[in-house]
Amino acid sequence: MAQVHDIEVVVFDVLGTLVDEPGGLRAEIRDAVPAADDASVDELLALWQRHVEREQRRIGQGDRAYVSTEILDREAAQRVADHAGLTDPAAIARLATAGRRLPPWADSVAALERLAQRFPVLGLSNAGRTALLKLNAHAGLRWHQALSSETVLAYKPAPEIYQLAIDTAGCPPDRVLMVAAHAWDLRGAQARGMRTAYVRRPVGDPPTSSDVFDWRFDGLDELVATLTAS
């Protein structure tokens, strides 16, 4: 178990951990297809998510060359449009940029601001550079630095992404804390020697009985209180 005084830099996953990705996509789909009922919107959201997850997996397996999330989102938006009968080019183009307008969880903005007074804070996201820039501005997420997987042309949980965070932090990996709502993300960080903190979110990937993370929290207020305790 890591001790708080061992931590020099805190790294946050963004999608799902600090912003409500499914909720934001659902709202954007509803705006694009206002006639759709709740069940139809959920079906379209699942279609979007399956496409992005499948293509990221194919990229990770070497079955497709790397493309950014902006391209994957554009493809997903077109699939949603085709399925929903949406033909308005402007509406489809706006839907393709939905990943730039995801809402933060209620505790995200204040927690980042408080934590950044004590630690260097990094964002580490699968979102492409431009999408991440626009998302940070929309959600009010203020970092010391935000890192995109596009820099290493790979998607989490590829090891080079976590190494990017470690290299940027400039300290040994066991002094870098990775915070995420996804157990699979934390396992990837753990494999590179990083410390880990799971934060429970309604849309996250909870730990299994075999996962051993350094900390587990019900929200970011608990995390901040623990890390900033004197």
pLDDT in tens, 115-156: 999 999 999 999 999 999 999 999 999 999 999 999 999 999
Q: Give this prediction's pTM.
A: 0.95
Percent of the chain at pLDDT > 70 equals 99
pLDDT in tens, 10-33: 999 999 999 999 999 999 999 999
C-beta pairs of 161-167 under 8 Å, 24+ apart in sequence? 161/124, 161/188, 162/124, 162/188, 162/189, 162/191, 162/192, 162/194, 163/192, 164/124, 165/11, 165/122, 165/124, 165/189, 165/194, 166/192, 166/193, 166/194
Structural domains of the chain ordered from first start: 4-20+103-228 (3.40.50.1000), 21-100 (1.10.150)
Q: How high is the pLDDT of residue 1?
A: 65
